[in-house]
Structure 1
C-alpha cells in the first residue's frame, strides 16, 4: 500500500501503542473519586469532638452522602449510554474537587459539610456507574488483549476499595496527628485529583453517542432491572455490602470511642483501612468463588457478613478494640466477595445497551446500606444497640435464605427472565 493510501491510525491503534494502557487512566479516575467519597468516614469522631456535633448529626453526615449518590448512579449511567463515557467521568472528577473544597470549609458550620457530602455522593455515584462500565469495556478486545472475562469487574472493585482505603488512611492520620485536621486532608485530595481533569480525557471513547435522541423516559429506563436474577439475588445482597461498610468504619468506631480514648480517630482510621484492604485482598479469591451457574459468591458474601455482625456484637459487648478490628476484617472480606460477585452478576445479566444503567441501579441499591448507621443512631433509645444488631443478624439470615431459594434459577445464560 502506498503512502498516499495508508489509513490514519484509529483511537484504538493509538491507544495500543501508549506506554500506559488506557484502562489504567480510567482506573485512576475511579480511584480518586472513591478517595473523595470515603475520606470523610474517619473524620466523624473529629467533628463530634472538635465541633461538638451529636452522634445523630455525625451519622447524618454519613447518610446524606446517599442522597447525592443514588440519583447520580441512575442518571449518570443513562447519560453515559447517550453521550459516551468520557464526559460524565470528567464531571465526576469535577464533583470530587468541589466536594473536597466544600468539606474544607467545615469549620464554618454544618452547611458546607452537608453540601460537601452531597456532592461527594454525586462524585462516587457517577464514577461507579460510568467508570465501572468504562473499565469493563476497556478490559477486553480491542483495548486489552490479555484481560480475562472478569478483569473489568475486578479492576473496578479494586479501584473503589483502594481509593476508599487510601482516602480514609490519609484523612484519618492527619486528623489524629497532623496540622489543620479539618482542612489539610481535603487539600491533599484536591492536589491528587487535579491532574485527572486532563488525564480522564485521554482514554478512547467506548460508547458511541446515539444518532437519534430517544425520549428521556426511554433513556432512563432499565429493562434488565426486571430480570428475575437481578431482583431475587443481586438486589437482595446489594444493601448488605454497604451496611457492613457503614457499621465497620462509621458506627463501630463511635460505639468503641470510649475504649479508644485519645486515639479514637486513629482507631476509626485503622478500622476503615482494615475493612477496605481486606475487601481488596479477597478479590482474587472472590473471582474463584463466583460461579456463572449459581449464586455461590453472593451466598458466601452474606454468610461472611453474618459472621462479621456476630463478631461486632462481641466487640460492643466486651468493649474490646481488638475484636472490633477482627469484625472489620470479616466485614471487609464479605464486602469484597459480594461486590465482585454482584458486578459479575450484573455484567452477565445486562446487554451492552443496559450495562451502565444496570450497574448504576446495583450501586444505588447497595449504597442504601450507608443509611443504616443513621437509622440505628435514631433508634437508640428506645432500643439498645445489641437489640438492633440482633435484628440485623436476623434480617441477614432471612436474606441468605431468599438467595438460596433462587440459587440456580433465572440464570442469564439460559435466557430465562
Structure 2
C-alpha cells in the first residue's frame, strides 16, 4: 500500500505524545524537591532512571520493528504511554512510585522513538532527502518541549500539582492513539519478516563514521538539554517557581526545534558540520551555566537555554542524518535505535554532575562539562576534516 501524502503526520503525533509524556517530569523536579523534600541526588536518579527503561526499549524495539513491522510496536507503546502518567499520579508521594512510572515512560519512549522514526522516514519516501529524519526530530523535540511547559503551568496554579500536571498528557495520549488507529490506519512500511529478532548491532554502527563521529557526539544531544532544564533550575536557588522552570525547558527545546532547519541546510552543504557546531554550543552553554550558578541569578538561565537548546537541535539532526545515510533499509530501525540509545546516555548528565560537584562544587562540575564538550568538538572536527564519512 502506497502511503498518501501527510500520512506520516499521524505517526508523528504519536511520537509527539510520547515525547510529551517522557519530559513533562523535568519541570516538576522543583515541585518534588519542595513538597517531598527529595535531595539533588534523588532527583537526578529519578530523572535518569528513565534511561534504564529507554535504552532496552530502543535496542529491542528497533530490531523488533524491523522483524514484526512498525505498526504493532508503535501502536502498543503509544497506548501504554498514558499509563506511565497515571502511575506518576498514583505514586506521587514517594520516590519509589515515581521511579516505576519513569521506568515505564522510558520503555515506551525507547520503542516509539526507534520504530516511529523509521516509520516516519519510510512514509516520507517521496519527500526531499533528509525530510523524514527532520520530521521525526521535530515531532520528538516538540513533544519534549511542550510537555514540561504545560505541566509547569498547570502545577503553578493547581491545588494538587502532582496530580493535575499529568492529566493533559493522559488526554493527549488517548487522542494520539485514536488518530493512529482510526479507520484505514497508517500503512505498514516494513512488512513482517521471517526469522528471529536481530538483537546484535547492525552493520552500520560497528565502525567507520558511526564510531568516530556519532558515538562521541550523540550523548551531547540530551546532556546539553538536561543541563539546561534539569540541572540549572534546580541548583541556581531555592526560590525558582515551577512555571519559570517550565519556561526554561520550553525555551531550550523550542530553540532546539527552531535550529533544525538550519542544521539540515548545514548538513546538506557539509555533512557533520552541524554536529560540530552543536558541540561548540554545548561548550558555550555549559560555561554560561557555570557563570549563572556563580552569580546565583535565575533570570540568566534564559540566556543559557537558547544556547544549550541549539546544541541539542544541531547534534540531533546531524546524528539522525548520518545514521540515515549509513543504515541499510532492512536495518534502519535497529540503526536509529542505537543512535537514540547513545543520545540518552546524556540523561545521565545530572547524576554525573552531582558526583563531580561533590569534589569541585557545581560551578566546577559545569566547567568540567564545558571542557569535555570542547574536547569532543575538537575530535569530531578533526575526523570530519581528515576522514569524512562515506
TM-score interval, normalised by the smaller of the two chains: over 0.9
Query: 1:220: how far off?
Result: 3.6
Q: Report the CA distance between 1:334 and its aligned residue.
A: 1.3
Contact 1:293/1:411 (<8 A) preserved:
no
Aligned residue for 1:103? 88
Alignment partner of 1:74 is 2:62? no
With structure 2 as the length reference, what TM-score do the two structures score? 0.95
| 2:247 counterpart of 1:264 | no
Are 1:203 and 2:186 counterparts? yes
Tell which deviates more after alignment, 300-309 or 30-39.
300-309
| Cα deviation digits, residues 205-239 of structure 1 (max 9, x gap) | 000111x214x4x4443111113100011111101
Other-structure match for 1:4? none
Residue 370 of structure 1 pairs with residue 353 of structure 2: no
Partner residue in 1 for 2:295:
318
C-alpha displacement of 1:94: 2.4
Task: Give the distance between the partners of 1:405 and 1:299, measured in 2 at CA.
Answer: 10
What's the TM-score, normalizing by structure 1?
0.89
Alpha carbons 1:89, 1:200 under 8 Å: kept: no
Q: Report if the CA contact (8 A) 2:283-2:370 is conserved.
A: yes
* Residues 108 and 203 of structure 1: CA distance in aligned 2, closer, same or farther (over 3 Å): same
Is 2:17 the counterpart of 1:32? yes
Which one of 153, 161, 176 corresponds to residue 173 of structure 1? Answer: 153
Map 1:248-259 to 2 at 5 A: 248-258=228-238
Shift of 1:315: 0.9
Q: Are 1:183 and 2:163 an aligned pair? A: yes
Measure, in 2, the Cα distance between the counterparts of 1:353 and 1:293: 27
Determine if contact 2:32/2:38 at 8 Å carries over to the other structure: yes
Superposed, 1:95-174 pairs within 5 Å as 95-141=80-126, 147-174=127-154
Structure 2 match to 1:6: none
1:42 and 2:27 are equivalent in the alignment: yes
How far 1:382 sits from its partner (Å)?
A: 3.0
SS in 1 for 2:92: helix
User: 1:383, CA displacement in angstroms?
Assistant: 2.4
Contact 1:136–1:153 at 8 Å: present in 2 too? yes
Matched, 1:299 2:279: no
Alpha-carbon contact 1:82-1:219 (below 8 Å) kept: no
- Aligned 8 A contact 2:237 2:296 in 1: no
The match for 1:213 is 195
CA RMSD after TM alignment: 1.6
Q: Does 1:234 find its partner at 2:211? A: no
C-alpha distance after superposition, 1:237-275 (max 9, x if no partner): 1011111111100010011233xx2x4212211110000
Cα contact 2:237–2:298 (8 A) shared by 1:
no
CA distance in 1, matches of 2:148, 2:347: 16
SS of 1:290's partner is helix
Cα shift at 1:368: 0.7
For residues 241 and 390 of structure 1, the distance between their equivalents in structure 2, rounded to whole angstroms, comes to: 18
Deviation, 1:410, is 5.3
Which residue does the alignment assign to 1:340?
A: 317
Structure 1 Cα separation of the partners of residues 74 and 208 of structure 2: 30
State whether residues 66 and 192 of structure 2, in contact with CA within 8 Å, keep that contact through their aligned partners in structure 1: yes
In structure 2, do the counterparts of structure 1 residues 182 and 92 end up closer, same or farther at CA, with 3 Å as the change threshold?
same
Asked which structure has the greater CA Rg, the reply is 1
2:265 aligns to what?
288
CA distance in 2, matches of 1:362, 1:234: 7
Give the length in aligned residue pairs.
387
Local SS of the residue matching 2:192: coil
Identify the range of structure 1 (362-371 vs 186-195) with the bigger mean alpha-carbon deviation: 186-195
Q: Which runs of 4+ in 1 moved over 3 A?
A: 218-221, 291-294, 408-413
Residue pair 2:251, 2:302 contacting (<8 A) in 1 also:
yes
Give the equivalent residue in structure 2 for 1:5: none
Q: Distance in 1 between matches of 2:39 and 2:100?
A: 18
Task: Please tell me whether the aligned partners of residues 19 and 144 of structure 2 are also in contact (alpha carbons under 8 angstroms).
Answer: yes
For residues 138 and 408 of structure 1, the distance between their equivalents in structure 2, rounded to whole angstroms, comes to 34
